[in-house]
């Protein structure tokens, strides 16, 4: 395990030069203090977890100190926001401090969010508030624990620095880790500003750093794009399977690595609602839960347009055609496992769609239903769950089909079935009301609930003694919290 001053930097993106990013120093926040840290994320840098308790930890990630080898840069990019192209984007409140490589040879970007104004702040103050920093910290670490690809969060540092949003709040900084912070919008920026040399330089950098195996293919850029399509199809399949709604799937919020990126007004489903809109600023429902699948394809099409100088239109179109079949295959595989099925049958899609429609009509808790379905034998579980449905007759009909479907797989030891289903059906998810309770306490200076919730969510599949309240259905007020992009 390493101390903070033993990190090894290799700032590969910074070496691309000023056409790709601007050198900016962090603006320190007043009285920096640790809110929460993730030992699992610290381990990615080989850092000793005890380092989080040292004064220099809060000073480094609160903008007061900087490693000599760090080279903080604000990245430039553009993107489509709510379907419309915006040429004036970039790191408006975040800085890529540098890239660190660990003893396993992995490179990790250190990206400090809330670090102050940059040339891309667009009239903003460059700050992040405590509530949004806590939400991103909890979400990224919770998604990782659910085996959903995501950026990681190393820590949140609180402060006494006032910032104004709808009301006066306090600034905070979040240290985000990722193998890359290159977005779809990076390629769009150089495409729409007609800079083919920089576009190619960016492409060569991304290929060499993140898709080196594609260099062995006859058409490396096409091989890279195909993998980006494959990764995003699998990512969004996992979002849909676990009821995660991102809320603001602009192309500047899409990672070329196919990982969950730029948390804003996200939410996990409580009651199942295919039309759920988690961002109250999304008046048209563009980024509703069910729309995430077609929007994923739309965003990939926008990236494909930006890559036309490097790849033929015909090859791009053919590769885009892989997205929906790949999504469907990944999604159905995940949902079979959530239903406790180990084989595939042609009617499984209908069985699933029938269930989701019944859940939609009855407001059934999405996560708890699947967890409880694995608690007992199919017959007992169906009998116990039927009271959650308004259309009991309809659910009974589904239950008969489901029991027969499980029976066709042959006799299975119930304890083995329970173990297998619980390994994919979480007991604990990051519900908005749980996050809000932790934020309310943190804004009063009590960080214990943030830390406790993080610990619970880090082990979502196993029952944790004394933590029963974190697995309950939310109260009615907790289902209707309004979350916006404001941070």
Q: What is the pLDDT of residue 477?
A: 79
Active site residue 252: yes
Distance CA(405)–CA(143), nearest Å, equals 30
Q: How many CB atoms lie within 10 A of CB 83?
A: 12
Comparing CA positions, the residue from 198, 260, 202, 253 lying closest to residue 235 is: 260
CA–CA distances in Å: residue 336 to residues 202, 233, 347: 40, 17, 11
Residues 109, 252, 270, 273: which is the catalytic one? 252
Tokens in use for 342? 């180990």
- pLDDT at residue number 152: 98
**204 has a pLDDT exceeding 80:** yes
What is residue 368's predicted lDDT score, i.e. its pLDDT? Answer: 98
DSSP string across 270-311? SB--TT---BTT-TT-TT-TTTHHHHHHHHHHHHHHHTTTTS
Q: Chain-wide mean pLDDT for the chain? A: 96
Least confident of 22-31, 65-74, 133-142, 471-480: 471-480
Stretch 254-283: mean pLDDT, rounded? 94
pLDDT at position 280 = 85
Q: Per-residue DSSP letters for 438-451?
A: HHHHHHTT--HHHH
- Give 433-452 pLDDT, tens digit per residue: 999 999 999 999 999 999 99
Residue 472 has a CB neighbour count (10 Å cut-off) of 12
**pLDDT over 60 at 250, yes or no:** yes
Is 485's pLDDT higher than 70? no
For the stretch 316-333, pLDDT in tens is 999 999 999 999 999 999
Among residues of the chain, what percentage have pLDDT more than 90?
A: 94
Q: How far apart are CA 156 and CA 140, in angstroms?
A: 12
DSSP 31-98: S-EEEEE-HHHHHTTTB-GGGGGSHHHHHHTTTS---TT---EEEP--EEETTEEES--S-SSEEEEE
Would you say residue 486 has pLDDT above 70? no
> What is the three-class DSSP state of 152?
strand
Q: Round to whole Å and give the CA distance between 357 and 177.
A: 38
pLDDT reported for residue 487: 56
């Amino acid at each position: 395990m390493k101390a903070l001053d033993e990190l090894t930097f290799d700032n590969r993106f910074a070496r691309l030069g000023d056409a790709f990013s601007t050198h900016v120093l962090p603006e320190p926040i007043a009285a920096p203090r640790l809110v929460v840290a993730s030992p699992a994320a610290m381990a990615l840098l080989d850092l000793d977890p005890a380092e989080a308790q040292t004064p220099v930890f809060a000073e480094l990630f609160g903008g007061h100190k900087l490693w000599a080898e760090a080279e903080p840069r604000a990245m430039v990019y553009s993107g489509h926001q709510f379907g419309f192209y915006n040429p004036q984007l970039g790191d408006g409140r975040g800085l890529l401090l540098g890239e660190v490589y660990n003893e396993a040879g992995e490179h990790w970007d250190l990206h400090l969010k809330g670090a102050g104004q940059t040339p891309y702040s667009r009239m903003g103050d460059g700050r992040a508030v405590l509530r949004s920093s806590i939400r991103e910290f909890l979400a990224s670490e919770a998604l990782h624990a659910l085996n959903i690809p995501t950026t990681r969060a190393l820590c949140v540092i609180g402060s006494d620095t006032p910032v104004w949003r709808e009301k006066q709040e306090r600034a905070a900084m979040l240290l985000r880790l990722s193998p890359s912070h290159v977005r779809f919008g990076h390629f769009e920026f150089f495409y729409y500003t007609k800079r083919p040399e920089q576009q190619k330089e960016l492409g060569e950098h991304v290929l060499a750093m993140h898709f080196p195996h594609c260099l062995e293919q006859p058409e490396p850029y096409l091989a890279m794009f195909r993998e980006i399509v494959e990764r995003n199809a699998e990512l969004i399949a996992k979002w849909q399977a676990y009821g995660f709604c991102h809320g603001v799937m602009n192309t500047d919020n899409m990672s070329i690595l196919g990982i969950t990126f730029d948390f804003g007004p996200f939410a996990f489903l409580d009651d199942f609602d295919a039309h759920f809109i988690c961002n109250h600023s999304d008046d048209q429902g563009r980024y509703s839960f069910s729309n995430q699948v077609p929007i994923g394809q739309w965003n990939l099409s926008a990236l494909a347009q930006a890559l036309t100088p490097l790849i033929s239109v015909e090859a791009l179109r053919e590769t885009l055609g892989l997205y929906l079949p790949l999504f469907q295959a990944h999604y159905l595989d995940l949902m079979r496992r959530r239903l406790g099925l180990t084989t595939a049958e042609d009617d499984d899609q209908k069985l699933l769609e029938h269930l989701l429609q019944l859940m939609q009509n009855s407001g059934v808790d999405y996560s708890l239903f699947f967890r409880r379905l694995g608690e007992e034998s199919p017959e007992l579980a169906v009998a116990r769950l039927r009271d959650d449905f308004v259309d009991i007759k309809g659910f009974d009909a589904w239950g008969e089909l489901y029991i027969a479907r499980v029976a066709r797989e042959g006799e299975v030891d119930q304890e083995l079935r329970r173990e297998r289903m619980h390994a994919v059906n979480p007991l604990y998810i990051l519900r908005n009301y749980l996050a809000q309770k932790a934020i309310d306490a943190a804004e009063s200076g009590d960080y214990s609930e943030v830390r406790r919730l993080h610990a619970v969510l880090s082990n979502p599949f196993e029952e944790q003694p004394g933590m029963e309240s974190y697995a309950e259905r939310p109260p009615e007020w907790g289902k209707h919290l309004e979350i916006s992009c404001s941070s």
